[in-house]
């Protein structure tokens, strides 16, 4: 599933195609949203935002298209009405005179008025957005120690969007590795130095991933690997999807716990 950095990059792409332009035509693939097509067609788009793993396309008339890609959703921006050759189902199309923004396969799409955004079941529960709100290390430290979060195991807390918005499985695995923590750790059991290190990594790693198109690994190491012919996927991560391969710190083979969201970790470094 795309995480905060990927959705933010998609929002940048969509924004470049449609923001500050009149949507000459808006078409929904879901029948229950068809009634909004006339209300949105002919309206100017004022902003495109990411909200954690969701996106908001905001129109000047006070309506907003909410979308969550979930596992299979994918955005394409193309010259106007030049649809890509795809077997996916087109769920949303926003056209202007020059370009089209097309969302395929996503099932979670809605139209919400400005004054109802705070009532949306997903948006209303989001914690601070790591890429938009840019919370400080201190703010994250304070948040981790709140009564509702301090007793939670980090393996589940880090993907809870009410804690912070935008973290998913690959960022969870990478953050835990960089800070040398097992998934069962709890904020209440950590010393101040470790809490500070964890908060710093929570703040900085999504930003690095956003800026680099998905690299969470040490940037110098990743570049050296790419220069030597490694694929982008091979160079991206410290531990994620590297089961059986040597840890970059201690050469112990990376292990994987096969759950709904597989956990990758170093059994020697994360104790």
Per-residue confidence (pLDDT) for residue 49, from 0 to 100? 96
**Is there a single domain that holds both residue 254 and residue 203?**
yes
**Can you tell me the distance from the alpha carbon of 187 to that of 167, in angstroms, rounded to the nearest whole number?**
17
Mark whether 40 and 85 lie in a shared domain: yes
Distance CA 261, CA 222 (A): 25
pLDDT over 90 (residue 6): yes
pLDDT of residue 71: 81
Q: Are residues 144 and 61 in the same domain?
A: no
Would you say residue 73 has pLDDT above 80?
yes
> Can you give the pLDDT at residue 72?
87
Q: Which residue range(s) make up the domain with 18?
A: 4-125
The pTM for the full model equals 0.94
Residue 101 included in any domain:
yes
Cβ atoms of 42 and 168 closer than 8 Å: no
pLDDT value at residue 1: 73
Q: Write out pLDDT tens, residues 146-172.
A: 999 999 999 999 999 999 999 999 999
Q: Give residue 105's region: left, alpha or beta (phi > 0; psi -120 to 50).
A: left
Number of domains in the chain: 2
Whether 248 maps to a domain, the answer reads yes
Instruction: Point out the domain boundary residue: 78, 101, 125.
Output: 125
Q: In which element (H, E) is residue 112 found? A: strand 108-113
Q: How confident is the model at residue 2 (pLDDT cuts 50, 70, 90)?
A: confident
Asked if 25 and 116 sit in the same domain, the reply is yes
Say yes or no: 141 and 54 in one domain: no
Give the alpha-carbon dihedral of 189, 192, 193, 197, to 10 degrees: 80
**Within this chain, do residues 210 and 149 fall inside the same structural domain, yes or no?**
yes
Last residue of a domain, one of 56, 91, 125: 125
149 inside domain: yes
The tens digit of pLDDT for each residue in 16-58 reads 999 999 999 999 999 999 999 999 999 999 999 999 999 999 9
What is the rounded CA–CA span in Å between residue 91 and residue 102? 8
- Whether residue 173 is predicted with pLDDT greater than 80 in this model: the reply is yes
Residue 143 pLDDT: 97
State residue 184's pLDDT score.
97
For residues 118, 119, 125, 131, the Cα torsion angle rounded to the nearest 10 degrees is -40
* 125-147 confidence digits (pLDDT tens): 999 999 999 999 999 999 999 99
Query: How large is the average pLDDT for residues 95-120?
Result: 96
Q: What is the pLDDT of residues 179-238, one digit of tens each?
A: 999 999 999 999 999 999 999 999 999 999 999 999 999 999 999 999 999 999 999 999
């Amino acid at each position: 599933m795309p995480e905060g950095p990927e959705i933010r990059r998609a929002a940048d792409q969509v924004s470049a195609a449609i923001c500050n332009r009149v949507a000459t035509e808006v078409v929904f693939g879901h029948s229950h949203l068809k009634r909004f097509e006339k209300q949105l067609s002919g309206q100017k788009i004022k902003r495109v935002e990411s909200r954690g793993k969701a996106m908001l396309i905001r129109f000047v008339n006070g309506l907003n298209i909410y979308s969550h890609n979930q596992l299979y959703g994918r955005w394409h921006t193309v010259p106007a009405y030049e649809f890509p050759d795809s077997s996916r189902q087109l769920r949303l199309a926003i056209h202007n005179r020059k370009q089209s923004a097309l969302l395929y396969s996503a099932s979670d799409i809605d139209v919400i008025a400005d004054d109802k955004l705070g009532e949306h079941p997903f948006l209303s529960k989001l914690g601070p957005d790591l890429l938009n709100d840019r919370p400080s290390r201190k703010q994250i430290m304070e948040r981790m120690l709140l009564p509702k979060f301090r007793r939670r195991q980090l393996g589940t807390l880090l993907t809870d969007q009410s804690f912070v918005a935008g973290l998913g499985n690959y960022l969870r695995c990478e953050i835990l590795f960089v800070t040398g923590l097992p998934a069962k750790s709890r904020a209440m059991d950590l010393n101040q130095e470790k809490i500070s290190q964890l908060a710093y990594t929570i703040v900085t790693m999504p930003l690095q991933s956003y800026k680099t198109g998905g690299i969470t690994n040490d940037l110098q190491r990743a570049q050296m690997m790419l220069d030597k012919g490694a694929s982008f996927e091979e160079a991206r991560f410290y531990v994620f999807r590297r089961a059986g391969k040597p840890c970059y710190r201690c050469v112990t083979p990376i292990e994987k716990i096969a759950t709904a969201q597989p956990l990758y970790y170093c059994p020697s470094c994360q104790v």
